[in-house]
Amino acid sequence: MKNGTPLSAQTEEKTVLIVDDDHDIGETLRLVIGDQTNYRVVWISESDLALEAASHLRPSVILLDYAMPTLDGLKLFDYLQQFEHMRDVPVVLISAKYSLPHEQLQKRGIRLLRKPFDVDDLISLLNRLIT
């Protein structure tokens, strides 16, 4: 215990959940975020697996690919909102598409990061979102 706060609460690990079906992008994000931050990084390549894992994952921020085969990032976001512990987690949609439902993203409070993006911009965004 330090300053009245249990040590486990002080050293709580911050987790970035990446959901992207592209192996190269997912692996690159996992490595870059892992190398440049102290955050734990979990990469899941399928939206169905992300839903299965949602019951026990407690991410600090979620990076969602928009274009995925089973569920697009917006639909996956909506399903994740069924889990109470996911409702206040900041979400960043990553996409190269220009025809995105911007109004729906704004309505849900989802941030957008366009591919290709600068790694420094990504790390800066993560640091702002993770408290």
The full set of domain ranges for the chain reads 7-129
Question: ∠ at Cα 127 (121, 131), nearest 5°?
Answer: 155
pLDDT tens per residue across span 2-21? 344 343 444 478 999 999 99
pTM of the model: 0.88
Q: What is 7-129's CATH topology? A: Rossmann fold (3.40.50)
Residue 131 has a pLDDT of: 74
Q: What's the pLDDT tens digit per position in 67-109?
A: 998 899 999 999 999 999 999 999 999 998 778 899 999 999 9
The residue behind tokens 């409702």 is 87
Q: Which segments of the chain are extended strands (E)? A: 15-19, 40-44, 61-65, 91-95, 111-114
Q: Dump pLDDT digits (tens) for 109-120.
A: 999 999 889 999
Predicted pLDDT at 9: 43
Q: Which residues contact 73 (CB under 8 A, 6 or more apart)?
A: 19, 64, 65, 66, 67, 93, 95
Burial of residue 61 (CB within 10 Å: 0-12, 13-18, 19+) is: buried
Q: What is the pLDDT of residue 6?
A: 43
